[in-house]
Structure 1
Amino acid sequence: MELIRGIHNIRSQHFGCVLTIGNFDGVHLGHAEVLKGLLIDAKANNLPSTVMLFEPQPQEFFAKSNAPARLTRLRDKLLLLSELGIERVICISFNQQFANMHAEQFVSDILIKKLGVKALTVGDDFRFGKQRQGNFDLLVSMGKQASMDVKSTASFRQLNARVSSTLIREALAAGDLSTAKVMLGHNYAISGRVIHGWKRGRELGFRTANIALKRQVCPVNGVFAVQATIAGKQVYGVANIGNKPTFNGTRALLEVHLFDFAQDIYGQFMHVELIKKLRDEKKFETLTQLTAQIATDVAAAKQCFGLN
C-alpha cells in the first residue's frame, strides 16, 4: 500500500483514482462497508482504491484535549486499511490553513484537479470544508460537472444500532469489550514502542513493558487480561491502563506484565489486545496493598486464559 503524506506530495502519477474520505478511527465494520463500495468502484474503473484521512483528526485539531478519545493510532489504522485491500492512502496534515479551505475549493483543487477522482464514496453524514459547509449534495452537484460519480453508503447496522466510533468508545469506557469487538470486527488493541518506565513493577516483583499513550486521550482505563505480540511471539499477560494513582502519576501509560517472558524488549514494537476487563484502576494506600492486588489480578488473568 502506498502512503502519500500531505497534499504537496500528490504527484501527476496519482491523477485518476476512486476515493473515500474520513477519519476511519478504529477502521470498524461501519468503515468496512464504506471501503467495500470503494473497492467495487476501483475494480469497475480499473483505478487505485484510495483513502484520504487526516492527522491530527479534525476534532483533535479544534477541541485539543477535549476531543473524543482516539481508537486507533495512524500506524495501526494504515495496517488495518492495508489488510482490507486499500491500495493508496493520502494522509492530510489538518492545520489551520487546511481548516480554512472552502468546501468548493477542496472539491475543485484537490479532488478534481489534483486527484482526478472518478468515483467518490462517502458516508451519509459526511461534512467538510470551512465551518463544515460542504455536504453530500455539494459533492453530487460539483461531481456532475466533472464526471465524478458520487455515492453514499447506507449506514451499516448491527446489534440494532448504527456502528460508529462513538458507540465503540462508549462500550470501551463501560468495559464492555465484547460489544466493542463485535462492532470493530476484532479485539480492541493498543500498539506502540516499549519505553523505560519507573521500574516500580520490578521492585514489586512484577516487571512490566510500558507504552506511553502520549497526548491521546485513551478510551479505556483499568486492569485487563491481555494478549500481546512482541518480538515475534504471542504472550498472555495482565495490563494496567491509566495514570498510576498510587504513585501520583500524571501521564497516561499502558503497563503490561507478560507471563513467563523475560526478554529485553526496550524500543521494540508491541501490539496489545484487550481480552477481558478485570477491574477499574484504583489508588492504594500502601505498596503492600498494591502488591497483593497485582497478585490477584495476575491470577484472574491467568484463569481467563486457562493458565492456572
Structure 2
Amino acid sequence: MKIIRGLQNLTQYQGSVVTIGNFDGVHLGHQNILAQLIKKSKQLNLPAVLISFSPTPQRFFGHEKATLSSFKEKQHLLSELGLDAHLIVHFNQTFSQLTALDFVQKILLDKLNMQHCLIGDDFHFGKDRQGDFALLQTLSKTKGFTLANTPSICHNNTRISSSEIRSLLAQGNLQSAATMLGRAFSITGTVAHGLKNGRTIGFPTINIPIKRKISPVHGIFAVTVELDGTSYQGVCSIGNRPIIGGKKTLLEVFLFDFNREVYGLKVKTTFQHKIREEEDFDDFATLKKQIKIDVSHAKKYFI
C-alpha cells in the first residue's frame, strides 16, 4: 500500500475508486467498506484509494477523542486488507475553507480522476460540512463517476462504529469491543526505560510509551504480550500513575515468569480482561499489596 502524505505529493491518477474517512481502529464496518471498494477496483481495474485527514477535523476544531489505533497500527491493518493507496490530506485552516464543490472537482476529479465513490449516506465534507451524499449523487450525473453508499454493519442491533467501540472499551467491555473490531483490542509499542519503581517492590515492569494523545482504555488489565514471536501472560496498568504524580499516559506490564531486559524491542499488548480502575495509593507498600491481588486475579482469569 502506498502512503501519500499531503496533496503536494499526489500525482495525477489515470483513474481510481475512492472512499473517505478516518477509519480509526479499522473495525468490521471499515473492513466491509474496504472489501466493497477493493472488489469494485478489481472490476474496473483501477487502484483503490482511501482519503483521510490529519489531524482529523474533530481534533483540528478542538474536539479531541481517544484513538483506537496509532498511525503505524492503522497503516498495517489497511495494507493487510489490500488497499492500494492511502492519501492523508493535511487538514489546516486553509483546507477547512475549501468548498464541497471544490473538494470534489480539485481533488476527487482533477487529481484522482475518480470513477467510483463509496461513501456513507451520513458523511459530510467541505466548508461548513455542506457536502453530502445527495450532492455527490447530483454531481455523479454530470461528472462521469458512479456512486454507492456504505450500509451499516450491526452487532446486537447496534451499529458498529469507532465511537461505540471507544465507549465499550471505556466501560471495560472488552469482549463486545473485540467483536466489533474483529480482533481483541491491542496496543503496539517499543519498550522504553522507566523509573524502575516496580523493581523496588518486587514487580518489575516493561514500560511502553503510548503514541496517542488520549488512550481509549485506563485501569488494570489481564493481558497477553507478544514479544519476539512468543506470547506471555501478565497484568498491566495503563494510566497516569497517580502515586508518583504522573501526567503522561504510560502502559506498564508485569509479565509472569519473565526475567529479561527487552529495552528497544517492539511488543504487542492485547487486553483480555479488565480487573479494576486505576487508583491512587498512600505509599508503595499499599500499592504492592494491591498488585499482589491484581496478579492473583489475572492468573485466575488465564486458568
If the length of structure 1 is used for normalisation, what is the TM-score?
0.94
> In 2, distance between residues paired with 1:222 and 1:16?
48
Moved more, 18-27 or 255-264: 255-264
Matched, 1:298 2:295: yes
Match of 1:160 in 2: 157
Tell me what 2:54 maps to.
55
Residue 215 of structure 1: how far off its partner (Å): 5.2
Pairs within 5 Å for 1:37-56: 37-56=36-55
TM-score, normalised to structure 2, is 0.95
How far residue 266 of structure 1 moved from its aligned partner, in angstroms, is: 2.0
Alignment of 1:86-235 (within 5 A): 86-214=83-211, 216-235=213-232
CA positional deviation for 1:258: 2.0
Structure 2 Cα separation of the partners of residues 61 and 135 of structure 1: 20
Which consecutive segments of 4 or more residues in structure 1 shift more than 3 A? none
Distance 1:144 1:261 in 2: 63
Alpha-carbon distance in structure 2 between the residues aligned to 1:226 and 1:142? 50
* Counterpart selection for 1:70 from 67, 70, 83: 67
Q: Distance in 2 between matches of 1:211 and 1:59?
A: 27
User: Residue in 1 aligned with 2:32?
Assistant: 33
The aligned counterpart of 1:288 is 285
CA 1:97–1:266: 2 relative to 1, 3 Å: farther
Number of residues paired by the alignment? 303
> Which residue identity lines up with residue 11 of structure 1 in the other structure?
T
The 1-side partners of 2:179 and 2:150 are apart by 20
Distance 2:206 2:51 in 1: 34
Separation of aligned partners in 2, 1:213 and 1:51: 26
Q: How far apart in 2 are the matches of 1:133 and 1:24? A: 21
* 1:121-156 per-position Cα deviation (integer Å, ceiling 9, x unaligned): 011211111121111111222222221111101111
Q: Which moved more, 1:293-302 or 1:278-287?
A: 293-302
Is the Cα contact below 8 Å between 2:70 and 2:211 reproduced in 1? no
How far did residue 117 of structure 1 move? 1.0
SS of 2:166 mapped into structure 1 = helix
In 1, are the aligned partners of 2:184 and 2:270 still within 8 Å (CA)?
yes
Contact preservation (8 Å) 1:231, 1:265: no
Task: In structure 1, give the amino acid aligned to 2:124.
Answer: R
Cα deviation code 1:29-53 (max 9, x no counterpart): 1112211220121111011111111
Letter in 1 for 2:3: L
1:114 alignment partner, SS class? coil
Match of 2:9 in 1: 9
**Which amino acid is the alignment partner of residue 173 of structure 2?**
D
In structure 2, runs of 5+ residues without a counterpart are none
After superposition, give the CA deviation of every residue in 1:92-146 in whole Å (9 maximum; x if it has no partner): 2222222221111111011000011111101121111112111111122222222
Cα distance, 1:214 vs structure 2 = 4.9
Change (3 A) 1:171 1:84: same
Letter in 1 for 2:273: K
The amino acid of 2:95's aligned partner reads F
Contact 1:69–1:219 (8 Å) recurs in 2:
yes
Tell me how far apart the structure 2 counterparts of residues 98 and 234 of structure 1 sit (CA, whole Å).
Answer: 45
Matching of residue 261 in structure 1 with residue 258 in structure 2 = yes
d(CA) in 1 for partners of 2:197 and 2:14?
A: 54
Given that 2:121 and 2:132 are in contact with CA atoms closer than 8 Å, whether structure 1 keeps it comes out as no
Letter in 1 for 2:263: Y
Contact 1:34 1:123 in 2 (8 A): no
Q: 1:265, 1:124 → 2: CA distance? A: 48
Measure the CA separation in 1 of the matches of 2:181 and 2:166: 11
RMSD (Å) for aligned C-alpha atoms: 1.5
